[in-house]
Amino acid sequence: MCGIAGCTGDSAAAEHVIESLKRLEYRGYDSAGITLGGTLLRTVKVSGTVDHLKKTLFSGDHRGTRGIAHTRWATCGEPTAENAHPHLSCDGGISVVHNGIVENFSELKDELSASGHVFLSETDSEVIPHLIEHYYDGDPLRSTALALRRLTGTFAVAAVFARHPEVIVCAAGGSPVVIGLDEKRTFVASDVQALSPYTRRIIRLDDGEIALLTPGAAQVYAAADLQPRRKEIVLLPAETVSSGKGGFEHFMLKEIMEQPVCCGNALKDRLDLSRGMVVFPGLGLSVRELSRVSRIVIAGCGSSIHAGLTGAYCFEDLAGIPVSVEQASEFRYRNPVLEPETLVLALSQSGETADTIAAVREARMKGAWVIAVCNVTESTIAREADSVIPLLAGPELSVAATKSFTSQLIVLYLLALYAGRGRRLPQETVLRLLREAGDIPALVRRVLEQAPLIERLAKRYAWADDLFYIGRGNLYPVALEGALKLKEISYAHAEGYHAAELKHGPMALLDEHVPVIALVDPACEAEKICGNIRECRTRKAPVIVFAADGFPPDGPAVRDVVRVPACSRYLLPVVMAVALQLFAYYFARARGCPVDRPRNLAKSVTVE
Ligand code: M6R
């Protein structure tokens, strides 16, 4: 789960490759490295971020018209400078960056060691330059292809050779590789965002392809037999990435604050109030076709799965369609039953989550129609699905999912209304629910106005190392999401539970040191969750209530209450999620955590 970048044909290769690498840090940021140069290869590697690499590199010689670089999320071997990429052949004349996993690295390492190769790192990737060296006969393309044929697992690689001073060889085998071209320069990277400052003309390598890059040119071949492939050059839309924090201390806070606009984008052009309809241009499924769907399977990971769990309430309630929500990581390993009328929704902000990609492939192989609900429309999941609903949330750079989560909730709600319209929902009801949906941006804005209150509360509880989040109904998955948000950025242990489940075990952990965050919809099973709150108070647990306006004044005595605006029960998860994001943000900030880049994580999880 790493990012690779490269450039040939520009005397500022180092600057370009480092800039591309910065844009790939969402794939990992625990160590980084670069190889620069033509006939003399110079490699610099550090433990830490790309900024650290940049400082180290630019304090020394960084000349060269060719470079390859890597930002890593450690899988095999600790995030040390030795384990950072690029890795070199024994003679130092071949340098390789790799994204993916070499599953048979142990046996390859034994074989290569027996023939005299010496390894300097604990990584699986280091076998690649040695294998290429083993096969090298003067042809960089053929030796790389022969080496890659020996690997089992996944890879995206870029390799440079001291004996071929302008060439980069790159190949894809289960991990993405894009090539960028302009008149005099050629680039390679793990995604198009990394290339967008330099060129809009790109070629995407398919799995099983290998390419020879020279300044201003790229020749693509089938890796199996080195037969040339004709590839289309795609013209990307003009750059849309906003790279700054816009005056905020962290991307996460900026992205939380952007939500009124993002929610508006998720609704815009999809609400047809004059006809009381939802419209999804490019969906490829009409209301009538959707009404014939017998079951929906929602697959995703992390926050995306929590959005899916929330969406399930809408589909079942509004459209009467049975839904199962699947962890994408488990989906393809348990031979899921998909009838011809099963619709699969693949939820992913990045569109590059390996487990979700695997679920999409499994579902399509079994004949299901797959809709990707994705923020990155250029991503693998968006390209491989039968159709795509874009989240339109704009780039999300902080590791914690915020605006993409609320946009997912909105899209799922609209899709449930779209399906419900063809099944059992009368037009007047759809129209009323659509009008209410139109209020979401304003409701979210009102939650954001409470940031100072939520900040005070978060600071007051920032001592806590263990917390529970509880909810009922469609606030139960929001409790899971609130707990995930808190733990990933603050390193406090937080568990989300259905409120009724606490007494089936976890309540044994409650005492005055374990705060409980209770999510309350006064219009839905309020007396039940009030009972659960009393049970917690009886065990001396401090309770913080997040409730929609109307939280019963005769409810349990709790000191700390955050009131969010009352709204339709289908929209409350959106409003509540925003309040919990703020709580997690201020809690982590009070604990001095690196909010945007929590330890051990990456924005995009590209390994299974
Ligand atoms: O890009 P995806 O939505 O597929 O990512 C899935 C998870 O890795 C992601 O939601 C993760 O759980 C977030 N860091 C949560 O904030």
Instruction: Take atom 4 of ligand 1 and give the residue whose Cα is closest.
Output: 348
Distance 304 CA to ligand 1 centre (A): 6
DSSP codes joined into one string, 124-140: STTHHHHHHHHH-SS-H
Residue 56 CB neighbour total at 10 angstroms: 18
Question: Which atom belonging to ligand 1 lies closest to the Cα atom of 381?
Answer: 4
User: Would you state the pLDDT for residue 241?
Assistant: 47
Do 430 and 462 belong to one domain? Answer: no
Pairing, β 271-272 against β 277-278: antiparallel
Would you say residue 603 lies in a domain?
Answer: no
Do 431 and 462 belong to one domain? Answer: no
Would you say residue 443 lies in a domain?
Answer: no
CA distances from 524 to 89, 361, 547 (A): 64, 39, 11
Q: How far apart are CA 581 and CA 256, in angstroms?
A: 7
Residue 249 CB neighbour total at 10 angstroms: 12
User: Which residue, 438, 473, 489, sits at the end of a domain?
Assistant: 438
Instruction: Take atom 16 of ligand 1 and give the residue whose Cα is closest.
Output: 400
Distance 605 CA to ligand 1 centre (A): 8
DSSP for residue 174: B
Do 288 and 209 belong to one domain? Answer: no
Q: Are the C-beta atoms of residues 352 and 319 closer than 8 Å to each other?
A: no
Do 468 and 586 belong to one domain? Answer: yes
Do 303 and 173 belong to one domain? Answer: no
Would you say residue 540 lies in a domain?
Answer: yes
Q: Are the C-beta atoms of residues 23 and 50 closer than 8 Å to each other?
A: no
Active-site residue set: 2, 603
User: Which residue, 395, 416, 438, sits at the end of a domain?
Assistant: 438
Q: Are the C-beta atoms of residues 265 and 393 closer than 8 Å to each other?
A: yes
What would the pLDDT profile of 6-56 be if each residue is shown by its tens digit?
Answer: 999 999 999 999 999 999 998 889 999 999 999 999 999 999 999 999 999
Do 286 and 191 belong to one domain? Answer: no
CA distances from 109 to 38, 79, 366 (A): 28, 20, 38
Q: Are the C-beta atoms of residues 543 and 557 closer than 8 Å to each other?
A: no
Do 431 and 493 belong to one domain? Answer: no
Q: Nearest 5°: phi and psi at 5?
A: -145, 150
Distance 353 CA to ligand 1 centre (A): 8
Distance 303 CA to ligand 1 centre (A): 5
User: Would you state the pLDDT for residue 45?
Assistant: 97
Q: Which of 350, 356, 490 for mutating ligand 1's site (highest number of atoms within 8 Å of CB)?
A: 350
pTM of the predicted structure, to 2 decimals? 0.85
Question: Which atom belonging to ligand 1 lies closest to the Cα atom of 402?
Answer: 16
Distance 349 CA to ligand 1 centre (A): 7
User: Would you state the pLDDT for residue 114?
Assistant: 97
3-state SS, residue 5:
strand
Enumerate residues 6+ apart whose C-beta is below 8 A from 134. Answer: 112, 115, 117, 147
Q: How far apart are CA 107 and CA 125, in angstroms?
A: 13
User: Would you state the pLDDT for residue 243?
Assistant: 60
Do 419 and 466 belong to one domain? Answer: no
Would you say residue 272 lies in a domain?
Answer: yes
Query: What is the widest separation between alpha-carbon atoms in the chain?
Result: 82
Would you say residue 118 lies in a domain?
Answer: yes
Do 574 and 493 belong to one domain? Answer: yes
Do 12 and 65 belong to one domain? Answer: yes
Would you say residue 602 lies in a domain?
Answer: no
Instruction: Take atom 12 of ligand 1 and give the residue whose Cα is closest.
Output: 302
Do 177 and 257 belong to one domain? Answer: no
Distance 389 CA to ligand 1 centre (A): 17
User: Would you state the pLDDT for residue 553?
Assistant: 62
Q: Which segments within 64-152 are labelled E, that is strand? A: 66-72, 87-88, 94-102
Question: Where is 374: in which H helix or E strand?
Answer: strand 369-374
User: Which residue, 438, 457, 479, sits at the end of a domain?
Assistant: 438
User: Would you state the pLDDT for residue 460?
Assistant: 97
What would the pLDDT profile of 424-478 be if each residue is shown by its tens digit?
Answer: 888 899 999 999 999 999 999 999 999 999 999 999 999 999 999 999 999 999 9
CATH number at residue 481: 3.40.50.10490
Distance 402 CA to ligand 1 centre (A): 10
User: Would you state the pLDDT for residue 26?
Assistant: 86
What domain range is 258 assigned to?
248-438
Q: Which segments within 401-522 are labelled E, that is strand? A: 466-471, 493-498, 516-520
Would you say residue 608 lies in a domain?
Answer: no
Q: Which of 191, 301, 407 for mutating ligand 1's site (highest number of atoms within 8 Å of CB)?
A: 301
Do 314 and 456 belong to one domain? Answer: no
Residues of the chain with pLDDT under 70: 238-243, 553-555
Would you say residue 364 lies in a domain?
Answer: yes
- 37 is written with which tokens? 């140069």
Exposure of 567 by Cβ count < 10 A (0-12 exposed, 13-18 middle, 19+ buried)? buried
Total of domains in the chain? 3
What would the pLDDT profile of 271-285 be if each residue is shown by its tens digit?
Answer: 998 888 899 988 888
Q: Which of 26, 191, 304, 388 for mutating ligand 1's site (highest number of atoms within 8 Å of CB)?
A: 304
Alpha helix locations (H) across 521-567?
526-538
Question: Which atom belonging to ligand 1 lies closest to the Cα atom of 350?
Answer: 1
Question: Which atom belonging to ligand 1 lies closest to the Cα atom of 328?
Answer: 4
CATH number at residue 23: 3.60.20.10
Residues framing ligand 1 (Cβ under 6 A): 301-304, 348-350, 353, 356, 399-401, 484, 488, 604-605
